[in-house]
Amino acid sequence: MVAMLEHIQLMIVAAAGLAFGSFSCVCIYRLPRARSIIWPRSACPSCEKILSWFDNVPVFSYLLLSGKCRSCREKISLLYPSVELTMSLLFLFQYWYLGWQPLLLVRLAFVCAMVILCVIDWQERILPNVITLTGITLGLGSSAFLNPGFLDSFIGCVTGALLLASVRSGYYVFRREHGLGLGDVKMLAMIGAFLGWQPVLLVLFLATVSGSVIGVTLIVSGTVDSRYPLPFGSFLAVSALVISVAGEVVLDWYLSLYL
């Protein structure tokens, strides 16, 4: 009986991940274009034909339609099923880490925000305020009742904002240009509000290292030049998702470098 209940819970979480992944795709497409994420209903980006419900089932509709619009036969971006599957897997990771408890709902909202911000920043180099500022409010508000606790959350929010704001200001003093946007500052503040002050330091460390490695690799390979603007928000998002379930492992590894 217990095993059956666990399987049902897994199926619910996985299905919720697919559904919210589909909604996240709507946000990813519409937010940079300043369009409503609620209305009108989803439509083909090419012919603008409103999609029927059976053409909008996460992943399965993409497979049944062979990745093409039923009306105009234009190819549907692989981004859609990729985001839906990724979201489902991330939901399952959070469920595995936290179990069935109130904090799980907060962390699933955090996962949605990170995925949306990651893709939008990678594609458009922007981090919408409607996600970051709303996320800060949700992170601080939920921490009054759940982990990491309001004080830890508040310190994490302020620490995240001040750290990147300081880096942004220092870079401008030396280069007379902004190497980071204010969106990155607000995003790290949001991450601190959800995870607390210690994890936010790990997130910044991991994002900086991974961003530097990938940036140098791209420059050395000749793929981009040294002025290419890397989407730091995308690295923050991936790092935050990793730290949210493996923060203790990363911290132990980091401390082992000095012990």
Condensed to tens digits (0 to 9), the pLDDT of residues 194-218 reads 999 999 999 999 999 999 999 888 8
Residue 32 is given by DSSP the state: G
Mark the ranges of the chain whose per-residue pLDDT is less than 50. Answer: none
- Taking the C-alpha atoms of residue 194 and residue 244, their distance in angstroms, rounded to an integer, is 9
Residue 68 is given by DSSP the state: B
- Taking the C-alpha atoms of residue 144 and residue 160, their distance in angstroms, rounded to an integer, is 19
The pLDDT tens digits for 35-65 are 999 888 888 888 888 888 888 899 999 999 9
User: So what's the pLDDT on residue 259?
Assistant: 63
Buried b (16+ CB within 10 A) or exposed e, 72-101: eeeebeeebbebbbbbbebbebbbeebeee
User: So what's the pLDDT on residue 47?
Assistant: 87
User: So what's the pLDDT on residue 220?
Assistant: 85
User: So what's the pLDDT on residue 5?
Assistant: 79
Helix or strand holding residue 30 (H, E): helix 2-30
Residue 220 is given by DSSP the state: H
3-class DSSP state of 78: coil
- Taking the C-alpha atoms of residue 198 and residue 251, their distance in angstroms, rounded to an integer, is 9
Pick the closest to residue 251 from 213, 185, 197 (CA basis): 197
Question: Computed over its alpha carbons, how large is the radius of gyration of the chain?
Answer: 20
- Taking the C-alpha atoms of residue 9 and residue 190, their distance in angstroms, rounded to an integer, is 29
Two tokens at 9? 């819970």
The verdict on whether omega for the bond into residue 102 sits within 30 degrees of 0, i.e. cis, is no
Q: Report domain extents, the chain.
A: 1-100, 103-259
Q: Within its chain, how far is the Cα of 146 from the centroid?
A: 21
User: So what's the pLDDT on residue 255?
Assistant: 67
User: So what's the pLDDT on residue 80?
Assistant: 95
- Taking the C-alpha atoms of residue 158 and residue 136, their distance in angstroms, rounded to an integer, is 10
pTM across the whole model: 0.94
